[in-house]
Amino acid sequence: MAYQSPINDLRFLMDHVVGFDAVAATDRYAEATPDMVDAILTEAAKMCDAVLAPLQRNGDLHPAVLENGVVRTSPGFADGYRAIAEGGWIGMSADPENGGMGLPMTLTTAVNDMMSGACLSLQLNPLMCQGQIEALEHHANDAIKALYLPKLISGEWCGTMNLTEPQAGSDVGALRSKAEPNGDGSYAISGQKIYISWGDNDFTENVCHLVLARLPDGVPGTKGISLFMVPKFIPDGDGNPGERNSLRVVSLEHKLGLHGSPTAVMEYDGATGWLVGPEHGGMAAMFTMMNNARLGVGVQGIGVAEGAYQHALAYAQDRKQGRAGGTGAIIEHADVRRMLATMKADTYAARAIAMACAVAIDLSDDPAWQARAAFLTPIAKAFGTDTGIAVAESGVQVHGGMGFIEETGAAQYARDVRVTAIYEGTNGIQAMDLVARKMMDGGDAASALLDEIEAGSEAAKATHPALAEAVWQAAETLRETTEWLTAQDDLNDRFAGAVPYLRAFARVLGGHYHLAAAMTGDTARARLATFYIERLLPEHIGLLAHVRQGAGTLLAITPDDLVA
Ligand SMILES: Cc1cc2nc3c(=O)[nH]c(=O)nc-3n(C[C@H](O)[C@H](O)[C@H](O)COP(=O)(O)OP(=O)(O)OC[C@H]3O[C@@H](n4cnc5c(N)ncnc54)[C@H](O)[C@@H]3O)c2cc1C
């Protein structure tokens, strides 16, 4: 079945659930009228469905390859990238002064969702560019902004992020790449970076690498790291690609999935780079890109969940097996219905969380919204990608044996999406961020969200008493555990339950957003909300019981016990 962008769900969330009207009411985003939003979503959907979705299998069957030092991309990817660039979808939220559209992050998030569902491995390229654009807008000097931003926004050039090294994965502070001042304002960058997504391509004039490296006086750890712009071709006096820089793609990784995206080992050998942000302030600058990418990667998971769901649904409507009743297709069987309903309900919950996070980003001139965006980002990343993985996995199961056979495409979704829980900070690292850094406010941001969930339940009590009571009660249990968590001084007591805590928070948020859907009077959405609140939401009870055990009995299991 051909992929169809989920415009209706995205529009429904914006209109009825995540409060996009507050974004459209700001002076900054006054142009985001309902007509404009419709036009944007419709145009983006056309491109995703007609141009990007047909490339999905190409990326898998004909992976990007390295030939004589040159990366050759999958068939059709150059045209797909051109369609994305020409549509203006890379710079949707970028500053209009540099050629961007200046649109809300909520709309960019919606379009990224559709592009990810259509062709994940290609979409990773513009996602990296969007993060780089935001990092440069916030941290680069005027000369770098003037030179690079218009080209990145137009898509003539594209951007990458270079953090990881063999000994520095989650522990970025362990990196060894070096930067030496050249004495003319530029720096010589040397070192090896691994796993660099879209480290090169054969369809943009230039590739701009944002590279983390340490200056000679940089202290060990994250505080001694600086950020540099290191282009593949050094721009000449007119800003056109000039001399070849001393960097190269050493090899491309052979991966479980996401074959259309070239994942490169990069070698920098005294390559010329320019500082972005202050000396030793690289992590703060890179965090702008990483936060952008964290929401973006969560949305990748949701996009893939959508694609996998549509695939499985079509198969279940067609495949006849057993005494199914009704149409005779397997969709009539209770267990298949359970799988499909879970896939749909969780995709909706994850999408609502990501869109709510984007709305908070759009309103984050206000510190309270900024705190909400910071709190929701790790939840959107981890729950979005966990949902992508679980839904794609169920998609294989719905297909039965055909799910294990590559021709159906069901397995590709499961292989491609697996990395989203790993890159851009593993989901374990996201959860630790949630219970430590994002709770340094003593739990205020969490508490404000819980207040909103409980107020939503109160408002729903008259029309949906049972559902409202279940969501209210879940929020109270989550509040008690949140208070317990913030009272733990030993961080291990928080970290031991970080992953179940994040998932429980997402579950409860999902209940809140499903309840909001039921409140609109849409009967199909109300039935899905009932399914979610009665059958999926109770998972939070077990998860929170796990959290409240702290670290004691977990760390009592010694490494020796594990090998015994
Ligand atoms: C396909 C692909 C594309 C990628 N693209 C890019 C890119 O474009 N740019 C880039 O810079 N990087 C990229 N990466 C790298 C990616 O971000 C890292 O793989 C990821 O951050 C994890 O690092 P690691 O692989 O070294 O795992 P490790 O850090 O070794 O982690 C192994 C396990 O230990 C856990 N762990 C590690 N530290 C802790 C801790 N302190 N507490 C608790 N648990 C911990 C992790 O959660 C994980 O489960 C990419 C990776 C892949 C596979």
Tell me what the mean pLDDT of segment 463-488 comes to: 98
Per the annotation, the verdict on 476 as an active-site residue is no
In DSSP notation, 515-562 reads HHHHHTT-HHHHHHHHHIIIIITTHHHHHHHHHTT-SHHHHTS-HHHH
Which is it for strands 233-235 and 241-244: parallel, antiparallel or unpaired? antiparallel
pLDDT digits (tens, 9 = 90+) for 295-350: 999 999 999 999 999 999 999 999 999 887 889 999 999 999 999 999 999 999 99
In DSSP notation, 121-156 reads HHHHHHHHHHHHHHHHHHHS-HHHHHHHHHHHHHTS
Residue 190's nearest CA partner among 210, 167, 213, 169 is 213
pLDDT digits (tens, 9 = 90+) for 354-372: 999 999 999 999 999 999 9
Distance 323 CA to ligand 1 centre (A): 47
Q: Is the pLDDT of residue 513 over 80?
A: yes
- What pLDDT is attached to residue 13? 98
Tell me what the mean pLDDT of segment 78-87 comes to: 98
Q: Is the pLDDT of residue 389 over 90?
A: yes
Q: Is the pLDDT of residue 291 over 90?
A: no
Distance 426 CA to ligand 1 centre (A): 6
- What pLDDT is attached to residue 287? 83
pLDDT-based confidence at residue 285 (cuts at 50, 70, 90): confident
pLDDT-based confidence at residue 286 (cuts at 50, 70, 90): confident
pLDDT digits (tens, 9 = 90+) for 88-121: 999 999 999 999 999 999 999 999 999 999 999 9
Q: Which of 162, 422, 435 to mutate to test the pocket of ligand 1 (most atoms within 8 A of CB)?
A: 422
What's the CA gap between 538 and 516, in Å, rounded?
18
> Across the chain, what does the average pLDDT equal?
97
Q: Are 39 and 110 in contact (CB under 8 A)?
A: no
Which residue of the set 279, 424, 480, 534 is catalytic? 424
Straight-line distance from the first to the last Cα atom of the chain, in angstroms, rounded to the nearest whole number: 49
Give nearest CA residue, ligand 1 atom 19.
423
- What pLDDT is attached to residue 325? 84
Lowest mean pLDDT among 139-153, 277-291, 409-423: 277-291
What's the CA gap between 40 and 254, in Å, rounded?
36
Distance 500 CA to ligand 1 centre (A): 20
pLDDT digits (tens, 9 = 90+) for 210-228: 999 999 999 999 999 999 9
- What pLDDT is attached to residue 39? 97
- What pLDDT is attached to residue 324? 79
Residues with CB under 6 A from ligand 1: 160-164, 169-170, 195-197, 255, 258, 263, 419, 422-426, 428-429
Give nearest CA residue, ligand 1 atom 38.
170
- What pLDDT is attached to residue 290? 85
- What pLDDT is attached to residue 130? 96
Residues linked to residue 66 through DSSP beta bridges, in sequence order: 71
Distance 22 CA to ligand 1 centre (A): 36
pLDDT digits (tens, 9 = 90+) for 30-71: 999 999 999 999 999 999 999 999 999 999 999 999 999 999
- What pLDDT is attached to residue 429? 98
- What pLDDT is attached to residue 93? 97
Residue 131's nearest CA partner among 142, 123, 141 is 123
DSSP one-letter code for 218: P
